[in-house]
Amino acid sequence: MPRTLRPSSKLDPAWLQAAIRNIPDFPKPGILFRDITPLLHDAARFQAVIRAFAEHYRARRLQAIAAIEARGFILGGALACALGVSFLPVRKRGKLPWNTCRVTYDLEYGTDTVEMHRDAIRPGERVLILDDVLATGGTSRATAELVQQLHGTVVELAFLIELKALGGRQRLHGLPVYALLQL
Protein backbone atom coordinates (compact mmCIF):
# COMPACT_ATOMS: atom_id res chain seq x y z
CA MET A 1 0.00 0.00 0.00
CA PRO A 2 1.47 3.41 -0.94
CA ARG A 3 2.20 5.83 1.88
CA THR A 4 0.92 9.37 1.92
CA LEU A 5 3.77 11.84 2.02
CA ARG A 6 3.84 14.53 4.68
CA PRO A 7 3.49 18.08 3.41
CA SER A 8 6.84 19.87 3.33
CA SER A 9 5.71 22.76 5.56
CA LYS A 10 3.91 22.83 8.92
CA LEU A 11 1.17 20.28 9.50
CA ASP A 12 -1.59 21.08 7.00
CA PRO A 13 -5.03 20.88 8.66
CA ALA A 14 -6.72 19.76 5.41
CA TRP A 15 -4.16 16.96 4.99
CA LEU A 16 -4.81 15.88 8.57
CA GLN A 17 -8.59 16.16 8.31
CA ALA A 18 -8.59 14.02 5.14
CA ALA A 19 -7.65 11.01 7.32
CA ILE A 20 -10.48 11.45 9.83
CA ARG A 21 -13.64 9.51 9.06
CA ASN A 22 -17.04 10.90 10.06
CA ILE A 23 -19.48 8.25 11.32
CA PRO A 24 -23.05 9.55 11.69
CA ASP A 25 -25.28 8.26 14.49
CA PHE A 26 -22.48 6.53 16.42
CA PRO A 27 -22.56 5.52 19.22
CA LYS A 28 -26.16 6.77 19.26
CA PRO A 29 -28.50 8.71 16.96
CA GLY A 30 -27.60 12.36 16.53
CA ILE A 31 -23.87 11.94 17.28
CA LEU A 32 -21.28 12.51 14.54
CA PHE A 33 -18.32 10.36 15.65
CA ARG A 34 -14.83 11.41 14.52
CA ASP A 35 -12.96 8.18 13.79
CA ILE A 36 -9.17 8.60 13.89
CA THR A 37 -8.35 5.00 12.95
CA PRO A 38 -7.68 5.91 9.27
CA LEU A 39 -5.14 8.48 10.51
CA LEU A 40 -3.51 5.86 12.75
CA HIS A 41 -3.38 3.48 9.79
CA ASP A 42 -1.48 6.07 7.73
CA ALA A 43 2.06 5.93 9.12
CA ALA A 44 3.07 9.26 7.59
CA ARG A 45 0.12 11.12 9.11
CA PHE A 46 0.45 9.41 12.49
CA GLN A 47 4.17 10.26 12.61
CA ALA A 48 3.41 13.84 11.57
CA VAL A 49 0.89 14.19 14.41
CA ILE A 50 3.34 12.91 17.02
CA ARG A 51 6.11 15.08 15.56
CA ALA A 52 3.84 18.18 15.66
CA PHE A 53 2.91 17.53 19.30
CA ALA A 54 6.57 16.87 20.20
CA GLU A 55 7.71 20.10 18.54
CA HIS A 56 5.04 22.05 20.40
CA TYR A 57 5.94 20.56 23.81
CA ARG A 58 9.69 19.89 23.59
CA ALA A 59 10.67 23.10 25.41
CA ARG A 60 7.82 22.99 27.95
CA ARG A 61 9.72 20.88 30.52
CA LEU A 62 7.01 18.20 30.75
CA GLN A 63 7.61 15.38 33.19
CA ALA A 64 4.57 13.23 32.40
CA ILE A 65 1.68 12.78 29.99
CA ALA A 66 -1.68 11.79 31.45
CA ALA A 67 -3.60 10.20 28.59
CA ILE A 68 -7.30 9.38 28.64
CA GLU A 69 -8.46 5.93 27.54
CA ALA A 70 -8.69 4.61 24.93
CA ARG A 71 -7.55 6.58 21.89
CA GLY A 72 -5.67 9.02 24.11
CA PHE A 73 -3.45 6.06 25.10
CA ILE A 74 -2.30 5.65 21.49
CA LEU A 75 -1.29 9.30 21.14
CA GLY A 76 -0.03 9.63 24.71
CA GLY A 77 2.19 6.57 24.61
CA ALA A 78 3.81 7.62 21.36
CA LEU A 79 4.32 11.22 22.54
CA ALA A 80 5.69 10.14 25.94
CA CYS A 81 8.27 8.01 24.12
CA ALA A 82 9.13 10.84 21.72
CA LEU A 83 9.67 13.27 24.61
CA GLY A 84 11.24 10.81 27.06
CA VAL A 85 8.65 11.43 29.80
CA SER A 86 6.37 9.26 31.93
CA PHE A 87 3.07 7.92 30.63
CA LEU A 88 0.12 8.03 33.07
CA PRO A 89 -3.03 6.11 32.12
CA VAL A 90 -6.37 7.70 33.04
CA ARG A 91 -9.10 5.06 33.02
CA LYS A 92 -12.76 4.58 33.70
CA ARG A 93 -13.67 3.42 37.22
CA GLY A 94 -12.59 -0.09 38.16
CA LYS A 95 -10.05 -0.60 35.36
CA LEU A 96 -6.82 0.13 37.26
CA PRO A 97 -5.40 -2.64 39.47
CA TRP A 98 -4.08 -0.67 42.45
CA ASN A 99 -5.07 2.13 44.83
CA THR A 100 -6.65 4.95 42.89
CA CYS A 101 -7.76 8.54 43.14
CA ARG A 102 -11.03 9.29 41.31
CA VAL A 103 -13.20 12.12 40.09
CA THR A 104 -16.87 11.71 39.20
CA TYR A 105 -18.35 14.16 36.73
CA ASP A 106 -21.71 14.89 35.14
CA LEU A 107 -22.76 13.69 31.74
CA GLU A 108 -25.85 14.76 29.82
CA TYR A 109 -27.71 11.80 31.35
CA GLY A 110 -25.97 10.56 34.50
CA THR A 111 -22.39 10.55 35.69
CA ASP A 112 -19.07 8.91 34.91
CA THR A 113 -15.82 8.46 36.83
CA VAL A 114 -12.14 8.54 35.87
CA GLU A 115 -9.25 7.23 37.96
CA MET A 116 -5.47 7.31 38.23
CA HIS A 117 -3.14 5.41 40.53
CA ARG A 118 -2.52 7.36 43.74
CA ASP A 119 1.25 7.22 43.22
CA ALA A 120 1.17 8.29 39.54
CA ILE A 121 2.28 11.89 40.11
CA ARG A 122 4.94 13.38 42.33
CA PRO A 123 4.04 16.72 43.96
CA GLY A 124 4.77 19.57 41.57
CA GLU A 125 5.27 17.30 38.56
CA ARG A 126 4.51 19.06 35.25
CA VAL A 127 1.81 17.08 33.45
CA LEU A 128 0.31 17.35 29.98
CA ILE A 129 -3.20 15.91 29.62
CA LEU A 130 -3.76 14.36 26.18
CA ASP A 131 -6.78 12.91 24.40
CA ASP A 132 -7.91 12.47 20.83
CA VAL A 133 -11.00 14.72 20.86
CA LEU A 134 -12.18 17.68 22.93
CA ALA A 135 -15.98 17.55 22.77
CA THR A 136 -17.91 18.78 25.82
CA GLY A 137 -14.86 18.79 28.09
CA GLY A 138 -16.21 16.68 30.97
CA THR A 139 -13.63 13.91 30.91
CA SER A 140 -10.78 16.35 30.32
CA ARG A 141 -11.87 18.58 33.21
CA ALA A 142 -12.16 15.55 35.50
CA THR A 143 -8.66 14.46 34.46
CA ALA A 144 -7.30 17.92 35.29
CA GLU A 145 -8.93 17.63 38.72
CA LEU A 146 -7.23 14.24 39.21
CA VAL A 147 -3.82 15.72 38.37
CA GLN A 148 -4.45 18.59 40.77
CA GLN A 149 -5.68 16.24 43.56
CA LEU A 150 -2.39 14.40 43.25
CA HIS A 151 -0.55 17.77 43.52
CA GLY A 152 0.62 17.81 39.92
CA THR A 153 0.74 20.91 37.74
CA VAL A 154 -1.42 20.85 34.61
CA VAL A 155 0.76 22.42 31.91
CA GLU A 156 -1.89 22.18 29.19
CA LEU A 157 -4.66 19.99 27.79
CA ALA A 158 -3.85 18.77 24.26
CA PHE A 159 -6.10 17.22 21.64
CA LEU A 160 -5.78 15.95 18.12
CA ILE A 161 -9.24 17.43 17.36
CA GLU A 162 -11.30 20.13 19.04
CA LEU A 163 -15.01 20.13 18.17
CA LYS A 164 -15.59 23.85 18.58
CA ALA A 165 -19.39 23.77 18.36
CA LEU A 166 -19.62 21.65 21.52
CA GLY A 167 -17.93 24.31 23.68
CA GLY A 168 -15.58 22.04 25.60
CA ARG A 169 -12.83 24.66 25.86
CA GLN A 170 -15.15 26.98 27.79
CA ARG A 171 -15.95 24.22 30.30
CA LEU A 172 -12.26 23.77 31.17
CA HIS A 173 -12.31 26.85 33.43
CA GLY A 174 -9.42 28.72 31.84
CA LEU A 175 -6.99 25.79 31.63
CA PRO A 176 -4.75 26.18 28.57
CA VAL A 177 -5.84 24.13 25.56
CA TYR A 178 -3.96 23.15 22.40
CA ALA A 179 -5.54 21.32 19.45
CA LEU A 180 -3.89 20.33 16.19
CA LEU A 181 -7.20 20.48 14.34
CA GLN A 182 -10.33 22.50 15.06
CA LEU A 183 -13.58 21.36 13.45
pTM of the model: 0.92
Q: Which of 3, 55, 61, 71 is catalytic?
A: 71
CATH topology for the 61-182 domain: Rossmann fold (3.40.50)
Report the distance separating Cα 102 and Cα 131, nearest Å. 18
- How do the pLDDT tens digits run along the chain, 183 residues long? 344 444 434 789 999 999 999 999 998 899 999 999 999 999 999 999 999 999 999 999 999 999 999 999 999 999 999 999 999 999 999 999 999 999 999 876 779 999 999 999 999 999 999 999 999 999 999 999 999 999 999 999 999 999 999 999 999 989 999 999 999
Q: Which of 6, 21, 69, 108 is catalytic?
A: 108
Q: What is the per-residue pLDDT for 106? A: 86
Q: 69 catalytic, yes or no?
A: no
Q: 55 catalytic, yes or no?
A: no
Domain spans of the chain?
Answer: 61-182
- Residues whose CB is less than 8 angstroms from the CB of residue 181 and which lie 6 or more positions away in sequence, other chains included: 13, 16, 17, 20, 160, 161, 162
